[in-house]
Structure formats: structure tokens, C-alpha cells
């Protein structure tokens, strides 16, 4: 029989689709035809597969070869199809016995010497394969560390094409040592930060409800230190969330054989010179997730935010609202998750010294206004908490008293989140920042006196409709921390002060 079938997975974003690879060898002039919407990297598979077979000692058919990948309408990209094509050729020539292997998938790029090389997206591909009922996965040895995170699949790590041939002939799974994994990476601690009482409370409230935060202050006052320590006060990710984070990194090509799947929330800090495509994702030949998707379930920190290029920060407005990024290209439309805490840091003026009495500031009022206008109104309207981070006093710097640690703050954050989770037990969300606007005015409204304060701010046009809802969500986080069953007028007033930036962290 000259027709063989092997199986693999095609990724569209984080979603995998089962692919049947048919290889037919027939009489005719020697040729190689590849069908099924392949991209340039896949179209080059002929030479990689041919050299790999020859250098492995296997024959290359000097006949007409037709490779069809179905469903044909689905675009295929990348070099991960090399291995299923090579195995199909060996089956069609009788080197490997013809068997129905619908419960096996093959993923891997071939080197010219027959080495099986690592590819991107193995983790999300295996997660999709498991849902499709696949039992065995033949994958590159270098991808083994991420592959074993998928429970319920028999992982077959291979380093060469010879190893694949041996496994398919004997069913002997090659041994592979698993590197020890840790559930949590070492993190920076809040105890390193001197003073900043108000900023610390703002961080804690943000962590409780998943609220977005803007830190404004002169250089050297600790804005970056505070932001870098936010993951240390966030609860650890559960198994599903950690796999989702790892899958995004796998697609982005950030995975290395020594990388661990941890439960620590990600912290992503792109440089302010980054582009809009790098921020939200995109690409021409292959669509990749951007910084906001890599920060999914964690923190996206942008230092020197006003220095970002035109449109970069505003490109985050849609992800902040929907919690996802949709990227459309001519061949496909992909959606990546993007539920992150946005933390922006900015100086108060171009020279950075406009604080206190501003005596050392050399900027004009026009320069200061233009500088802060780089943060657009629609973006600032999506920021829940704004806090001014002033320089710690001499007394705070010289104090030998121990500062509160991240572990202590995290305990309070977890307790407050547990209260919210119990309140939202019958809902589709668990964080205060995700309460729908319609329910904020009815089921999850604050006390009457507190609602009157918000309505007054709305009437005076000091709050937009979005701002009204955001203040109320922050008030719920303050109430959970304070042990109030419903936000009080005090909680709402504090939330209003946090939104307006009236609180000072001195």
C-alpha cells in the first residue's frame, strides 16, 4: 500500500485543530506536491525531510509524492509538520508497518541530519489533542519539560528520526529525565521599600480586585520597586491558569528546556520604546501574542509611560475592556487571552522634579501639561487607582523598624479575595474588577448614602459612566479588606480619592 496516514495538530492562537496528513507515492516523474494551504516554512519541508531520511539511512522515493493535509481549508504554518510527513513517507515505503494510529500525534521539526528539533506551541497543541481523545504524543525531546504538564497523555520524547522508527516498531518509550519543578519562583519583597504607606495600600487594593494602577512621582522614589513587587502579593495561580500562561509563552517561543511551569503570576515589563504590534501581538507570516497576552493572569508594567510612542498605550484600551486581544489578518483571525493588571509609572513632568513645592523643576506649565497629555483621557478613564509616590522622608529612610513583608500583605489579599469568591459563587467571575455594570447598579450596589455620593459626582461631571462603575468596584475591594458586607460611604470616598489621585504616599 502506497498511501499512509499520520496525525498532528494545527494551532490557531491557543486552539488546536486535529490534522490528518496523507502521503501517497505513485508512479510518475519524481516530484513532491504539498496540498492544504501550507506557508513558506512548511513548503520548504521537502528538502528537510529528504535530507533527514537519507542521512538516517532510510530511502527517499524516486517517484511522485503527494502530501495532503486536511482539513484543506485550514492554513498550516511552521515546521512542526516535518515529522508526520517523514513518518508517512516511511509507512508508504514499508519501512514502518502500516497501522491505524489515530490515537497518536507527531510534532517536530527535522534537521538535515535526522535530528528532531523543538518547535513552538507544543503545550497548547497537546492540550487540544487531549480534548480530541488522543492518547500518545511523539514530540521533540527538548519540548518534554512542557509536554509532561498535560496529564492523561503518554508523552514519547524523541531526539532523532531513528528513535521514532524504533518506537513505532517496538512501542518502547525512550526514557527522559524530568527536571524538578518548583511551584513558585523567588520574588522581590515589599519589605525592601521604605515608607510609602499610601502607595502600599493602593497596591494592596489593586491586588484584591485586579484593578489598574497609575504611579506618578519623581525619579528614584520607588515606583518601579513597588510595581515589581506586585506579583509577590498576588495569590498563586491555579493549575488551569498556570497552564494557560505557559501555553501563551510556548506559542511566543519563550520556552526553553530548562523553563518551569510555575504558579507565580507573570510580570511583563516592555520598554517604553516598544511598538503597538509588540504590545498587543501580531505579525505577517505568523501571528504571535504580544506583551499584554504574555502578562495574562499577571501584571503588565510600563515604566516611563508618557514616553511611549503614539498609539502604543491606546492600543491597550480594547484589551482592558474585553480581557482578550483579537488579531485579524488575511488568512485568519486569532484571539489571545489578555486579563492583566495594568500598572503605569510616570514622572510628574519632563524633568521629573515637579513635586512638593516644585522649586527645582525647570519645566514650564505648558511643558508639564503637554507631558501628562501623552496619557490620553480614554486610557486614564480606564485606570482605577492613581497615586502620587513622593520621596520617602529622612526619618523613613533612617528607620530601623522592619517594613511589612509581602507575605503579610498577601495573606490579607487572599482573605479578601476569598470573601469576594464566596459572594460571587453563583457568578461567572471572581474579581471585583469584573462585576458587570448592570449588576453594580442593582445586585452589587453600595449603601444608599454611598450611592448618593457617586450620583452627585456624576451630576457634577467629575465622573464618567465608566468612572462611576470603576469607583464602585474599587469600593467593593476596600469593603472586602475592611470586613464590610456592603461598601459604605467611607469606602466609596476612599475609592474616589484613589481614582482622583488625591491620596499622597508620603
Whole-angstrom distance, CA of residue 137 vs CA of residue 445: 51
Three-state DSSP class for residue 170:
helix
Q: Where are the beta strands (DSSP E) in 118-235?
A: 136-140, 154-158, 213-216
- Please choose, from the candidates 258, 194, 269, the residue with its C-alpha nearest in 3D space to the C-alpha of residue 230: 269
User: Could you count the other beta carbons within 10 Å of the beta carbon of residue 26?
Assistant: 12
Whole-angstrom distance, CA of residue 256 vs CA of residue 85: 25
Q: Where are the beta strands (DSSP E) in 181-243?
A: 213-216
Give the CATH number of domain 3-170. Answer: 3.30.230.10
Q: What is the pLDDT of residue 505?
A: 42
Whole-angstrom distance, CA of residue 39 vs CA of residue 18: 18
Whole-angstrom distance, CA of residue 204 vs CA of residue 105: 46
Whole-angstrom distance, CA of residue 288 vs CA of residue 89: 31
Q: 162, 55 in Cβ contact below 8 A?
A: no
Q: Which residues lie below 8 Å from residue 54, measured CB to CB, with a gap of 6+?
A: 60
DSSP codes joined into one string, 352-409:
S---TT-TT----HHHHHHHHTTS-HHHHHT--EEEE-PPPPHHHHH--SPPPPHHHH
Three-state DSSP class for residue 115:
strand
Q: What value does the CA radius of gyration of the chain take, rounded to a whole number of Å?
A: 27
CATH 3.40.50.300 in the chain: give the residue spans.
Answer: 190-417
CATH 3.30.230.10 in the chain: give the residue spans.
Answer: 3-170
Whole-angstrom distance, CA of residue 395 vs CA of residue 478: 29
In the 8-state DSSP scheme, what is residue 229? T
Residues of the chain with confidence (pLDDT) below 50: 181-182, 504-506
What tens digit of pLDDT does each residue of 278-315 get?
999 987 777 889 999 999 999 999 999 998 988 899 99
Give the CATH number of domain 190-417. Answer: 3.40.50.300
Q: 446, 487 in Cβ contact below 8 A?
A: yes
Q: What is the largest CA-CA distance in the chain?
A: 88
- Cα→Cα distances 303→28, 125, 264, 397, Å: 63, 34, 21, 24
The overall average pLDDT reported for the chain is: 89
Amino acid at each position: 500500500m502506497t498511501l499512509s496516514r499520520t496525525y498532528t495538530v494545527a494551532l490557531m492562537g491557543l486552539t488546536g485543530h486535529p490534522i490528518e496528513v496523507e502521503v501517497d507515492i505513485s508512479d510518475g516523474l519524481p516530484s513532491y506536491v504539498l496540498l492544504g494551504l501550507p506557508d513558506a516554512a512548511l513548503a520548504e519541508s521537502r528538502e528537510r525531510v529528504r535530507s533527514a531520511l537519507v542521512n538516517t539511512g532510510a530511502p527517499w522515493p524516486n517517484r511522485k509524492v503527494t502530501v495532503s493535509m486536511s482539513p484543506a481549508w485550514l492554513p498550516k504554518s511552521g515546521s512542526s509538520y516535518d515529522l508526520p510527513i517523514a513518518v508517512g513517507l516511511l509507512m508508504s515505503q514499508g519501512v514502518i508497518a502500516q497501522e491505524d494510529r489515530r490515537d497518536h500525534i507527531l510534532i517536530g521539526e527535522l534537521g538535515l541530519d535526522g535530528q528532531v528539533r523543538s518547535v513552538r506551541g507544543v503545550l497548547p497543541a497537546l492540550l487540544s489533542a487531549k480534548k480530541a481523545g488522543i492518547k500518545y504524543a511523539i514530540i521533540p525531546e527538548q519540548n518534554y519539560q512542557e509536554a509532561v504538564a498535560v496529564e492523561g497523555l503518554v508523552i514519547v520524547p524523541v531526539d532523532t528520526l531513528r528513535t521514532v522508527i524504533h518506537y513505532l516498531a517496538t512501542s518502547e518509550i525512550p526514557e527522559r529525565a524530568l527536571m524538578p519543578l518548583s511551584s513558585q519562583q523567588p520574588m522581590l519583597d515589599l519589605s525592601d521599600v521604605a515608607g510609602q504607606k499610601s502607595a502600599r495600600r493602593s497596591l494592596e487594593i489593586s491586588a484584591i480586585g485586579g484593578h489598574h494602577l497609575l504611579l506618578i512621582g519623581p525619579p528614584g522614589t520607588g515606583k518601579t520597586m513597588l510595581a515589581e513587587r506586585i506579583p509577590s502579593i498576588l495569590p498563586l495561580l491555579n493549575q488551569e491558569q498556570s497552564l494557560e500562561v505557559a501555553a501563551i509563552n510556548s506559542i511566543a517561543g519563550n520556552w526553553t528546556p530548562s523553563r518551569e511551569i510555575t504558579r507565580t503570576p507573570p510580570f511583563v515589563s516592555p520598554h517604553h520604546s516598544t511598538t503597538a504590534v509588540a504590545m498587543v501581538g501580531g505579525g505577517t507570516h505568523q501571528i504571535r501574542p504580544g506583551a499584554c497576552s504574555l502578562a495574562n493572569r499577571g501584571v503588565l508594567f510600563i515604566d516611563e509611560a508618557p514616553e511611549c510612542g503614539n498609539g502604543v498605550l491606546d492600543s491597550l484600551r480594547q484589551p482592558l475592556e474585553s480581557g482578550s486581544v483579537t488579531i485579524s489578518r488575511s488568512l485568519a483571525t486569532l484571539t489571545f487571552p489578555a486579563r492583566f493588571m495594568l500598572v503605569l509609572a510616570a514622572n510628574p513632568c519632563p524633568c521629573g522634579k515637579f513635586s512638593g513645592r516644585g522649586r527645582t523643576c525647570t519645566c514650564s506649565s505648558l511643558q508639564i501639561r503637554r507631558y501628562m497629555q501623552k496619557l490620553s483621557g480614554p486610557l486614564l478613564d480606564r485606570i482605577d487607582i492613581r497615586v502620587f509616590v513622593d520621596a520617602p522622608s529622612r526619618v523613613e529612610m533612617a528607620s530601623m523598624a522592619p517594613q511589612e513583608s509581602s507575605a503579610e500583605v498577601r495573606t490579607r489579599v487572599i482573605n479578601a479575595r476569598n470573601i469576594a469568591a464566596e459572594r460571587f459563587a453563583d457568578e461567572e467571575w471572581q474579581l471585583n474588577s469584573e462585576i458587570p455594570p448592570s449588576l453594580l447598579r442593582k445586585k452589587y450596589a453600595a449603601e444608599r448614602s454611598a450611592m448618593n455620593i457617586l450620583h452627585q459626582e456624576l451630576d457634577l461631571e467629575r465622573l464618567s459612566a465608566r468612572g462611576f462603575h470603576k469607583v464602585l468596584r474599587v469600593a467593593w475591594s476596600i469593603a472586602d479588606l475592611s470586613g464590610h458586607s456592603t461598601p459604605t460611604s467611607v469606602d466609596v470616598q476612599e475609592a474616589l480619592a484613589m481614582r482622583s489621585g488625591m491620596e499622597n504616599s508620603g
